[in-house]
Amino acid sequence: ASADGRRDFDAAVAAAFDRRDSVQNLIHENLQSAADSEVEQARRDVDRQIKNARRRLSALLLFATVLGFSVTFSLARSIGGPIRNVVGALRALRGGNFHERLPISGNDEFSDMALAFNQTAEELQRLTVTRAFLDDIQRSLADGVFVVDGDFKVQSLNRASMTLLGMAEPDVEGQPLNRFLKFPGGDPWVPELRANSRLECSLTGASGVSRPVLCSLEPLSGEEQGNARYVCTITDITGLKEAEQA
């Protein structure tokens, strides 16, 4: 009896261990399946988030690209127009059209540029008109007028001077003034001419015949240091001398 009881006990214990192993295996399989399912779900969630992030990034890049093109196009239009206006105005100014003006609108660098250009054009126009007016006056004077540089070489002369000399302007320009004017005291003649408002001297032209003239020399105002120019005015007094001798 005790041997049979021992065998039954051992069988019961073995059966209990078998059931325990079966339960452990079942629990392990269920846990592994649940873990795999959780891991797979997590992986899907991560993949979905990555895809969403990529879509949002692509949309942002597309928006930034479109915005960049729009800004560049707007800047090109806003800058290109004024620059073309300035270039056109400068070409007109170079061509001698001092009436050209740039429109001024706003309060930016282009407005400052337009204002500076307009002021420069106005000043050039005024100086050009003044120079043309003075040239007309000089050409119409009955007295001879020479404009000489600091070395007293002829830069320009009026029509009366050419008539008195019997020479054209290109033949006189660049020549020293004392080639045509002879002073009683000889050289140096400049200090004497500066010291006297009107000095009698003789003018010799292309014919080689000398005629008496009254001569004066005045510096041009507004000339820079080292670039001095002078105006020499001569008046023919041949008739006066002939009347004195009669």
Q: For 203-229, how does the pLDDT look when each residue is reduced to its tens digit (9 = 90+)?
A: 998 888 889 998 888 887 655 555 678
Bigger pLDDT: 116 vs 106: 116
Beta bridge partners of 1: none
pLDDT for position 8: 67
Asked if 154 and 217 touch (Cβ cutoff 8 Å), the reply is no
28: CB partners within 8 A, 6+ apart: none
Contact 158, 172 (CB under 8 A): no
What global pTM score does this model have?
0.44
Taking Cα atoms as reference points, which of 120, 51, 106 lies closest to residue 78? 106
Contact 238, 211 (CB under 8 A): yes
